[in-house]
Amino acid sequence: MQRFINYLNVFLFITGIQVLFFSEAYSLNPNMKYSIQYDTIYINGDINIDNRDSLIISPGTVMMFTGYFSINVSGKIIAAGTPTDSIVFTVADTTGFSNINIGAGGWNGIRFEDTPAQNDSSLFSYCRFEYGKATGDSANCFGGVIRMVRYHSVRISNSSFVNNYAYLRGGAIHAYKSNPVIEHSVFEDNFAGNDTPDVFGYGGGVSYYASNPTIKFCTFRNNSSTGFGGGLVFDYSNPEILNCVFTENFSGLGGAIGFLRSVTNRTIANLLIYNNASEFFGGGIAISDSDPKFNNLTIVNNQSSMGGGYYCNNGATPDIYNSIIWGNNSGNAGGYLGSQVWIWDIISTPGFYNCNVQYGTEQFGGSTFIGVYENNIDGDPLFSDPAIKDFKLTMDSPCINTGTSDTTGLFIPAFDFAMMPRINHGVIDMGAYEYYGPFPGVIPGDADCDGVVNILDIITIANHIIGLNPEPFCFENADLNFDASIDLLDLICTTSIILQ
Q: pLDDT per residue over 306-337, tens digit each?
A: 999 999 999 999 999 999 999 999 986 456 88
- pLDDT average, residue stretch 173-198: 96
Supply the DSSP symbol for 362: G
Task: For residue 234, give the nearest of 268, 211, 214 by alpha carbon.
Answer: 211
Q: pLDDT per residue over 477-492, tens digit each?
A: 898 887 778 999 999 9
Task: For residue 11, give the nearest of 1, 24, 23, 20 by alpha carbon.
Answer: 20
- pLDDT average, residue stretch 366-380: 97
- pLDDT average, residue stretch 166-182: 98
- pLDDT average, residue stretch 154-180: 98
According to the model, what pLDDT value does residue 244 have? 99
Q: How confident is the model at residue 361 (pLDDT cuts 50, 70, 90)?
A: very high
According to the model, what pLDDT value does residue 58 have? 93
- pLDDT average, residue stretch 179-202: 96
Supply the DSSP symbol for 368: P
- pLDDT average, residue stretch 286-298: 98
> 35 has which bridge partners?
56
Q: How confident is the model at residue 1 (pLDDT cuts 50, 70, 90)?
A: very low
pLDDT at 291 over 90: yes
Domain boundaries of the chain, sorted by first residue: 455-499
Task: For residue 188, give the nearest of 249, 132, 243 by alpha carbon.
Answer: 249
Q: pLDDT per residue over 94-130, tens digit each?
A: 999 999 999 999 999 999 988 887 888 999 999 999 9
Distance CA 443, CA 478 (A): 9
Q: How many Cβ atoms from other residues are within 10 Å of residue 410's Cβ?
A: 19
Q: pLDDT per residue over 233-282, tens digit each?
A: 999 999 999 999 999 999 999 999 999 999 999 999 999 999 999 999 99
Residue 334: burial class (beta carbons within 10 Å; 0-12, 13-18, 19+)? exposed
According to the model, what pLDDT value does residue 293 have? 98
